[in-house]
């Protein structure tokens, strides 16, 4: 059971954007790895039925006996679902396609929007001593994403540097506003990070200009470049920081992690 009288635990960040292909999972994995490099202990919660964060951190399908499905819908011991990865101090609650049916099963549960909130605030969570929990949300504004936002302190939004990027953002902001009214009044936007950025491309520069003029300080100074090493790393089941530590992508995620840590220490 959750104990709301406990002292504040880890900082919980939902990484969300209802558009697919914006670098959401890539950002979750690599930001987690970069936080670990900064002496933080991190849990990734894979809330996407595609399970790409699990694959990208080297968790084979046959090793995902207990997953976020059980975390949400069954009274399971946290030590059964939290798994270690190849990277010390980076742990994961993996996902499988089973999670795709969770949306339907959640509808009949009267606490349907608060299940992840309660699961991540069990007293047993203290034993893991996490500094951050990053939730990799599905690419849709469904009940799983609402669970993530109710559970989180803040939302980090990866924004692809492409045409119409800001249009999709307005729907996400509306959902965040609704979640504030429905059960998490303190939910805030952690920041917007521009991904797949190509400095030689006029469109990327225009999207950045529009984002900064519309969203101001919400947009991170760090931008994540379009980088072949970032794209290759998941096929080797590792973050780009481990795959090619000195690549532009790895350096960018290190910069993003430092910016996030600094923002949270102010």
pLDDT per residue over 72-126, tens digit each? 998 888 999 999 999 999 999 999 999 988 878 888 777 888 999 999 999 999 9
Per DSSP, what are the bridge partners of residue 195?
160
State the pLDDT at residue 252. 97
Q: Counting beta carbons within 10 angstroms of the beta carbon of residue 186, is it exposed (0 to 12), middle (13 to 18) or buried (19 or more)?
A: exposed
CA distance 18 to 141: 6
CA distance 254 to 262: 12
DSSP label of 85 = -
CA distance 25 to 31: 10
Distances (CA, A) of 74 to 62, 67, 119, 168, 171: 20, 10, 10, 34, 31
More confident of the two residues 187 and 167: 187
pLDDT score of 147 more than 90: yes
Which pLDDT tens digit goes with each residue over 28-79? Answer: 999 999 999 999 999 999 999 999 999 999 999 999 999 999 999 988 889 9
Q: Does domain 11-255 bear CATH number 3.40.50.300?
A: yes
Instruction: Provide φ and ψ at 134, rounded to 5°.
Output: -110, 125
Residue 6's CB is within 10 A of a number of other CB atoms, namely 12
Query: Can you tell me whether residue 140 is helix, strand or coil?
Result: coil
Which pLDDT tens digit goes with each residue over 193-233? Answer: 999 999 888 888 998 999 999 899 999 999 999 999 999 99
């Amino acid at each position: 059971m959750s104990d709301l009288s406990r002292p504040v635990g880890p900082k919980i960040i939902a990484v969300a954007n209802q558009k697919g292909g914006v670098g959401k999972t890539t950002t979750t994995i690599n930001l987690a790895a970069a936080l670990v490099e900064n002496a933080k202990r991190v849990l990734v919660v894979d809330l996407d039925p595609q399970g790409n964060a699990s694959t990208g951190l080297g968790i084979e399908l046959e090793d995902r006996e207990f997953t976020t499905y059980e975390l949400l819908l069954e009274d399971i011991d946290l030590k059964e679902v939290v798994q270690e990865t190849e990277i010390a101090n980076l742990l994961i609650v993996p996902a499988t396609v089973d999670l795709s049916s969770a949306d339907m099963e959640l509808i009949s549960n009267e606490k349907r929007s608060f299940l992840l909130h309660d699961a991540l605030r069990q007293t047993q969570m203290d034993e893991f001593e996490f500094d951050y929990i990053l939730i990799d949300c599905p690419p849709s504004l469904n009940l799983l994403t609402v669970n993530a936002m109710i559970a989180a302190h803040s939302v980090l939004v990866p924004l692809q540097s492409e045409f119409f990027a800001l249009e999709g953002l307005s729907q996400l902001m509306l959902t965040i506003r609704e979640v504030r009214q429905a059960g998490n009044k303190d939910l805030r936007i952690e920041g917007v990070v521009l991904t797949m950025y190509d400095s030689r491309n006029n469109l990327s520069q225009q999207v950045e200009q529009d984002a900064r003029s519309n969203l101001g300080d919400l947009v991170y100074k760090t931008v994540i470049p379009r980088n072949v090493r970032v794209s290759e790393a998941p096929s080797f089941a590792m973050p780009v920081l481990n795959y090619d530590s000195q690549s532009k992508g790895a350096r960018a995620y290190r910069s993003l992690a430092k910016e996030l840590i600094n923002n949270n220490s102010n």
